[in-house]
Amino acid sequence: MKITLIILLSLNASHSDNFIKNGFILTLIPSILTFLEPDTGNVIFYVVIYLSIIFYRLKSFKYLIKVSGLIGVIGTIFLLLYFFNQNLFISIFGSSFFYRMDRITGLFTSSYQLDMALINMGSGGILGFNNVYGIPEATTDFAFSLLVSLTGYVGAIIYIMVNIYFINTLIDNVRDSDNIIVEYMTFSFMIMYLIQTSIHIYMNIGLFPITGITLPFISYGGSSLITYFIMVGLISNKDNN
């Protein structure tokens, strides 16, 4: 869905005068279906893809500020209902959404998953080679914790440097491209990559709710790895028309 959405929104932004409204509809449909699955994590990236392409088209923060304000108002209403009238909240949004809100509000509470991730990263030391023990979903949801445990802080620094180089390569690709659709796709992919990588790392160190978001190119297998390789292939094709 991420690939499809990036392509459709890029085409919409490059050919339509009503790209904001059309893009919103294109984003809303899969967002609702994914949210009902239920899967909140991927809905975040659908919104990120939409906003990044709108920003690149308008080259202005005004629209992002308006959208952020609207999201802030809606979020405030959710939180007020959640904290002060939970019965009404459940009757409107259902118990599934209440459970997801409960996970978000429990961000800074201790959990076995987070405790084991932090313990193993701390045990990795400078060079790693740690005997990893007890990290839940170590090859997927806690891939960064596993990486630091095995390679230490030196490995973490190298990983960050590689990411900086990769992002710089994407920026060069945007500048050098003479195809506006590829520019939209590359910019949107870059923002999605940055946010997903950041959320995964923050999740592993206790600064973001544990939502099962994978670490691009590092987490084992699955659709995430396939998606990112397909996107790299699409935006790297210089003959893409």
Whether residue 133 lies inside any domain: the answer is yes
Per-residue confidence (pLDDT) for residue 157, from 0 to 100: 92
* Residue 101 or residue 43, greater confidence: 43
Q: Which long-range contacts (CB under 8 A, 24 or more apart) does 103-111 make?
A: 103/209, 103/210, 103/211, 104/209, 106/209, 107/206, 107/208, 107/209, 108/206, 111/210
Residue 77 lies in a domain: no
Does 110 score more than 70 pLDDT?
no
pLDDT in tens, 186-240: 999 999 999 999 988 988 888 877 777 889 998 887 788 888 899 998 888 755 5
C-alpha to C-alpha distance for 94 and 88, rounded to whole angstroms:
9
Distances (CA, A) of 117 to 87, 187, 196, 219: 35, 32, 18, 15
Domain range spanning residue 124?
2-59+106-236
pTM of the model: 0.80
Does any domain span residue 99?
Answer: no
Buried b (16+ CB within 10 A) or exposed e, 179-214: bebbbbbbbbbbbbbbbbbebbbebbebebbbbebb
Number of folded domains that form the chain: 1
CB atoms < 10 A from the CB of 89, how many?
20
Instruction: Taking residues 8-30, report their average pLDDT.
Output: 89
Are 126 and 152 a contacting pair, CB within 8 Å? yes
The DSSP secondary-structure symbol of 141 reads: T
76 within domain boundaries: no
- Residue 27: per-residue pLDDT: 92
Do 71 and 24 touch, CB atoms closer than 8 A?
Answer: no
Asked, for residue 241, whether it belongs to a domain, the answer is no
Residue 96 lies in a domain: no
Find out whether 87 and 76 touch, Cβ atoms under 8 Å: no
180 is written with which tokens?
Answer: 């506006």
Q: How far apart are CA 104 and CA 75, in angstroms?
A: 12
Q: Which residue has the tokens 């893409």?
A: 240
Residue 47 lies in a domain: yes
**Residue 51 placed within a domain:** yes
143-176 helix and 180-204 helix, angle to the nearest 10 degrees:
160
Q: Identify the sign of the CA torsion 184, 190, 193, 195.
A: negative
Distance set, CA 225 to CA 9, 98, 239 (Å): 22, 30, 24
The whole-number average pLDDT for the span 64-79 is 73
